[in-house]
Amino acid sequence: MTTSDVITQIEGKVGRIRLNRPKALHALNTAMCSAILEALEAWRTDPAVEAVMIDHAPAPDGDPKLSRGFCAGGDIRMLAESGAKDGAEARAFFHTEYRMNHALFTYAKPSIAFMDGITMGGGVGLACPCDFRIATENTKFAMPETGIGLFPDVGGGWYLSRLPGRIGQYLALTGHRLDGAECLALGLATQYVPSAALDDAKTRIAADPQRMAAILGESAQSAPEARILAQRETIDRLFASDELEAIYAALEADGGEWAMQTLATLRTKSPQTMKVSLRLLHEGATMATFEDEMRQEYAVGCRVVQRHDFLEGVRAVIVDKDNAPKWNPDTPEGVTGHVLDQIFAPLPQSDEWTPA
């Protein structure tokens, strides 16, 4: 099964999913998610497939500019264009993407994702459900959605809420980029493997998936220092609250260079979707199942994608590139509990997300 944007094939004893949209840094569209879902379902009961491997195809002619991404997210332009109309195409994308996320999360066969390059948004949703998540010196991992008026979806409310201390809240609000060593230290990655060793590891795994853990152990090396851990105490203290106003106040009261830089970063983000993110992580921490998480994120996503801040964020960052979004409301105080309740309200049963 091959499409222009994703290649799915059996290689040796593994089902291989290769993202193949290099000019968009392998950002996902609906057809790609459908093709991945189809492959996962076909391989689920195929005795010839013992494991699933996810990576990105090499860039044409080895162009380094096109080799920077594992998966840079989703089709943001389409989502905004749909959100400005009836939102139907955006809802179809979310529904299919979240089914793919859930299928990977519940997959019975071992799975492995190679996060060699930019791993953001939709790429996080592909990698985090996998049993093995490989970071390299090229990994740049982030959930930067609040900068375009969106929120960390594709299971972000589940994964980020389970990180140590308040690091998940910090990442959700600021969109801070983690490197491969930091991903390993936080448990977002399971191994740190030099990019030069990946091809050999993939070949060996395809030949003998039952030895996947051992092969990765033999390929891995010690990671550099995880720089974010030096800020762990500060992050836990200043991001302790689930109220955005209290986080602002804590940063202002601290007054240090790191706190002031972080506060300046937050002031560039959408107050509405920062509050959405805090609530998402607060509720995600106690979700009984990943299915429950995805059902809630779908309801939230269907609404947020049609609100002013997302359309304005995409205009400012993706379309006009002036990087000067005019958020509405433009302060945390302007985002009321009533607005959040509307965004988080369950959908009618006939419109709810359901797993594949």
Two tokens, residue 2 = 């091959």
Q: Which of 12, 74, 121, 284 is catalytic?
A: 74
**Which tokens sit at 27?**
């950002």
- Is 63 a catalytic site residue? no
Rounded-to-integer distance, Cα 36 and Cα 89, Å: 19
Place of tokens 């009618």: 348
Q: What SS3 state is found at 16?
A: strand
Which residue in the list 69, 73, 122, 156 is annotated as catalytic?
A: 122
- Please say if 38 is a catalytic residue: no
Which of 153, 182, 293, 312 is flagged as catalytic?
153
- Pairing mode of beta strands 191-192, 132-135: parallel
Nearest by Cα to 54 from 17, 106, 107, 25: 17
The question of whether 145 is a catalytic residue gets the answer: yes
| Radius of gyration of the chain from its Cα atoms, rounded to whole angstroms | 20
Q: For residue 71, give the amino acid letter.
A: C
Residue 147: active-site member: no
Cα separation, 221 vs 22, whole angstroms: 28
**What are the structure tokens assigned to 169, written together?**
């809240």
- Residue 118 CA to residue 243 CA, distance in Å, equals 30
Q: Which of 145, 182, 297, 312 is catalytic?
A: 145
Q: How many CB atoms lie within 10 A of CB 307?
A: 20
Q: In DSSP terms, which residues pair with 54 in a beta bridge?
A: 17, 113
- List, by residue number, the catalytic residues: 74, 122, 145, 153
